[in-house]
Amino acid sequence: MATSYEADIGHWEDWQKAYRFGIFLILPPDPPLTQVNALRSKHDPRGQSICEAHISLTIPLARPLGEADWSELESIASGVQPFSIRYGPLMNYLPHPGVCLVIQPQNELDRLRGALETASVFEGAPARKYPFSAHMTIAEFISAEQTESLMGELAGVAPKGVFACTGVSYVVPDAGFHFTERRRLELAR
């Protein structure tokens, strides 16, 4: 196996159990990592306690990730050229509550996501509930009213910028449902 997984997930909420074998996402570098983590800590401490600032890519893995699976994923990732990611301004998905940063280019991120999800470790995984829409969450465990208030509060101060996407992180939750990076796939060099 490529990593270890939590054996006892009986205390996890039902929605959390699907993430037992992890997910692939993009962890931004500094300064956006530190900037967004600070906003998440202040406005959504529950979300921050689950995972630091990130851009979700794939659906959760259907089974444990083995070394052969990792090799397959490395081969896929090495065929994708690095690209620049733009983050900001603010957005939301009302009527679903929450505040996040716009992430571009959606087409490149969707292409990367789609390529990764062709790997055999995703076979049998539940289908995506919503169409893929890359974003970087600032607060999700909030009400619709809090969403509107936070959109106004952060309108002029939310971070914006660009960083290079050169790889994706494989993250897995621990017993307390906190995700940590276990491995990293590098894109083409």
Residue 116, domain CATH: 3.90.1140.10
User: Residue 130 falls within a domain, yes or no?
Assistant: yes
pLDDT of residue 50: 96
Listed in sequence order, the residues at least 6 apart from 65 whose beta carbon sits closer than 8 Å to its beta carbon are 1, 2, 3, 21, 22, 121, 170
CB 183 within 8 A of CB 64: no
Q: Measure the CA–CA gap between 166 and 163, rounded to whole angstroms.
A: 9
- For the CA atoms of 137, 138, 142, 148, the dihedral, rounded to the nearest 10 degrees, stands at -100
In a domain, 159, yes or no: yes
Task: State the pLDDT at residue 129.
Answer: 86
Ranges of residues in the chain whose predicted pLDDT is under 50? none
Burial label for 134, CB within 10 Å (0-12, 13-18, 19+), is: buried
Note whether residue 73 is domain-resident: yes
Question: Is residue 76 in a domain?
Answer: yes
Q: With respect to residue 42, please indicate whether it lies within any of the assigned structural domains.
A: yes
Which residues constitute the domain of residue 162? 15-186
> Is 2 contained in some domain?
no
**Lookup result for tokens 């994708």:** 80
Confidence at residue 189, expressed as pLDDT on a 0 to 100 scale: 85
Work out the burial of residue 127: count CB atoms within 10 Å of its CB; fewer than 13 is exposed, 13-18 middle, 19 or more buried. Answer: exposed
User: Residue 7's Cα: distance from chain center in Å?
Assistant: 23
Does residue 69 lie in a domain region? Answer: yes
d(CA 141, CA 93): 13
Share of the chain above pLDDT 70, in %: 99
* Whole-number pLDDT of residue 94: 84
Pairing of strands 167-173, 23-26: antiparallel
**Number of separate domains in the chain:** 1
Give domain status of residue 7, yes or no: no
What does pTM read for this prediction?
0.94
DSSP letter string, 99-118: EEEEEE-HHHHHHHHHHHTT
pLDDT of residue 130: 85
